[in-house]
A = this chain, B = another copy of it.
Amino acid sequence: MTKTDIATRVYNHSWKLDPIIRSLIDTDFYKLLMLQMIWKLYPDVDATFTLINRTKTVRLAEEIDESELRDQLDHARTLRLTKKEAIWLAGNTFYGRSQIFEPEFLTWLANFQLPEYELSKKDGQFNLQFHGSWMETTMWEIPALAIINELRSRTVSRSLGLFTLDVLYARAKAKMWEKVERLRELPGLRISDFGTRRRHSFLWQRWCVEALKEGIGPAFTGTSNVLLAMDSDLEAVGTNAHELPMVAAALARNDQELAAAPYKVLRDWNRLYGGNLLIVLPDAFGTAAFLRDAPAWVADWTGFRPDSAPPIEGGEKIIAWWKKMGRDPRQKLLIFSDGLDVDAIIDTYRHFEGRVRMSFGWGTNLTNDFAGCAPREIDGLKPISLVCKVSEANGRPAVKLSDNPRKATGDSTEVERYLKFFGQEDRIEQKVLV
């Protein structure tokens, strides 16, 4: 006999909306760390964030219904920090440190609301922008990306039958578990989930995170997703992102300030945080330029996160620099986080084993890898290279060069100016998949 719980069924079928974002802390932990710094040091800076789809062949505005997108963005704007979340942020230990968030900051955050958005369509793409105070607009990056990516998945799901869906997820689980088994073979591996922004869906990310927790145990060092960290008693991980040097550079009033910008934000960071949070993200305007001009104290920081150079070449250059600066790389940490999958993780791990401390931030290929899982190839299941980047600060254009020219963002004239200023050394063109 089949039994239907009528109330549940009617409830499930009469939702006006199945929200993608159900919590303000369904975001990356580094956003909160950066937010506190912005709130404290840059409360008067305006910043515009802009959605950029680098996978031009995917015409997002044709795959996703604009009104559905608006409904999801509007719903995210209704969210407030819950009491339990506020208590957890105040009381939890992050990176071994208690009270990493100041009480005044949390009081402010308790009333936080995502600001308004501007949405239009052009040439099959969405033009989505967030204008306003940096300490408000910055919080849109992750939910905006997660919403668009999950709406893409839902478009696909609607076209599939129940058994096809069942088999799709069964295969994706089997595929994920094979990765888990390969990772288990690396002793002392440290890996964490960085996959919120490009996840297939919230529920699928949660499944992957819980599978890693069960599957690789202590090698799984945490998740960047604050909500999942809270709910699953995992460490929340992540430090800072490109928006810090990008805004600092955009605000520079002369060449001297522009040259100093990448290091100024590190000084700012160090005023608020220490220890394992002192991770340098060196590639905003090219890692070679960053290392060439870095003040000596940068070598005191705990580690680097090479994010756009090929991991082995990128890591070697940082190790060489540490040696030049008289540091022992075995005391230092490299965090790899650029488009990793299991092969790249294993190769990188084997290459550097014993020479440097390593940690891997596993993103899109953890939380959105359905390749080969559908009964036929479905384009909508392929992750795209979607980002939401700061594009202006106080009305001035913000730019990222990156170690990979294909990951550069910003106005092309301005990119040219930065390239002349910082130089092009060691920039390597690589295909950007995610």
Q: How far is the CA of A1 from the CA of B3 in the complex (A)?
A: 13
A233 within 8 A of B: yes
Q: How far is the CA of A88 from the CA of B84 in the complex (A)?
A: 7
Of B3, B90, B230, which is within 8 A of A84 by CB?
B230
Q: How far is the CA of A86 from the CA of B230 in the complex (A)?
A: 12
Shortest distance from the beta carbon of A118 to any chain B beta carbon, whole Å: 33
Q: Please state if B92 and A87 are interface contacts (CB–CB under 8 Å).
A: yes
Query: Knowing A2-B2, A90-B91 touch, does A84 contact B233 (C-beta < 8 A)?
Result: yes
Q: Please state if A83 and B92 are interface contacts (CB–CB under 8 Å).
A: yes
A82 within 8 A of B: yes
User: Which residues of B are found within 8 Å of A2, using beta-carbon distances?
Assistant: 2
User: Which residues of B are found within 8 Å of A5, using beta-carbon distances?
Assistant: 166
Q: How far is the CA of A91 from the CA of B82 in the complex (A)?
A: 13
A162 within 8 A of B: yes
Chain A residues with a Cβ closer than 8 Å to the other chain, count = 19
User: Which residues of B are found within 8 Å of A1, using beta-carbon distances?
Assistant: 162
Q: How far is the CA of A87 from the CA of B99 in the complex (A)?
A: 11
Q: Please state if B166 and A82 are interface contacts (CB–CB under 8 Å).
A: no
Q: How far is the CA of A231 from the CA of B91 in the complex (A)?
A: 16
Residue of B nearest to A230 (CB): B84
User: Which residues of B are found within 8 Å of A87, using beta-carbon distances?
Assistant: 87-88, 91-92
A354-410 contacts to B (CB < 8 Å): none
Q: How far is the CA of A2 from the CA of B5 in the complex (A)?
A: 14
Q: How far is the CA of A292 from the CA of B296 in the complex (A)?
A: 79
Q: Please state if B92 and A3 are interface contacts (CB–CB under 8 Å).
A: no
Residue of B nearest to A232 (CB): B84
A118-168 contacts to B (CB < 8 Å): 162-163, 166
Q: How far is the CA of A91 from the CA of B87 in the complex (A)?
A: 5
Q: Please state if B82 and A233 are interface contacts (CB–CB under 8 Å).
A: yes
Residue of B nearest to A92 (CB): B87
Mark contacts of A19-30 with chain B using CB atoms, 8 A cut-off: 1 yes-contact digit, 0 otherwise.
000000000000
Q: How far is the CA of A87 from the CA of B163 in the complex (A)?
A: 42
Mark contacts of A303-336 with chain B using CB atoms, 8 A cut-off: 1 yes-contact digit, 0 otherwise.
0000000000000000000000000000000000
Query: Knowing A1-B162, A3-B166 touch, does A233 contact B88 (C-beta < 8 A)?
Result: no
A239-275 contacts to B (CB < 8 Å): none
Q: How far is the CA of A166 from the CA of B9 in the complex (A)?
A: 14
Q: How far is the CA of A5 from the CA of B166 in the complex (A)?
A: 8
Of B86, B163, B233, which is within 8 A of A83 by CB?
B233
Q: How far is the CA of A80 from the CA of B91 in the complex (A)?
A: 18
User: Which residues of B are found within 8 Å of A84, using beta-carbon distances?
Assistant: 88, 230-231, 233
Shortest distance from the beta carbon of A234 to any chain B beta carbon, whole Å: 9
Q: How far is the CA of A87 from the CA of B90 in the complex (A)?
A: 8
Mark contacts of A84-110 with chain B using CB atoms, 8 A cut-off: 1 yes-contact digit, 0 otherwise.
101110111000000000000000000
A331-352 contacts to B (CB < 8 Å): none
Shortest distance from the beta carbon of A362 to any chain B beta carbon, whole Å: 23
Most chain B CB within 10 A, of A2, A84, A88, is at: A84
Shortest distance from the beta carbon of A225 to any chain B beta carbon, whole Å: 15
Of B3, B86, B92, B162, which is within 8 A of A162 by CB?
B3
Q: How far is the CA of A260 from the CA of B5 in the complex (A)?
A: 57
Other 17 A-B pairs with CB < 8 A, given A84-B233, A87-B87: A1-B162, A2-B2, A3-B162, A3-B163, A3-B166, A5-B166, A82-B233, A83-B92, A84-B88, A84-B230, A84-B231, A86-B91, A87-B91, A87-B92, A88-B91, A90-B91, A91-B91
- A–B pairs, 12, beta carbons within 8 Å: A1-B162, A2-B2, A3-B162, A3-B163, A3-B166, A84-B88, A87-B87, A87-B88, A87-B92, A88-B88, A88-B91, A90-B91
- Residues of A whose CB lies within 8 Å of any CB of B are 1-3, 5, 82-84, 86-88, 90-92, 162-163, 166, 230-231, 233
3 tightest A-B CB contacts, nearest first: A87-B91, A91-B91, A83-B233
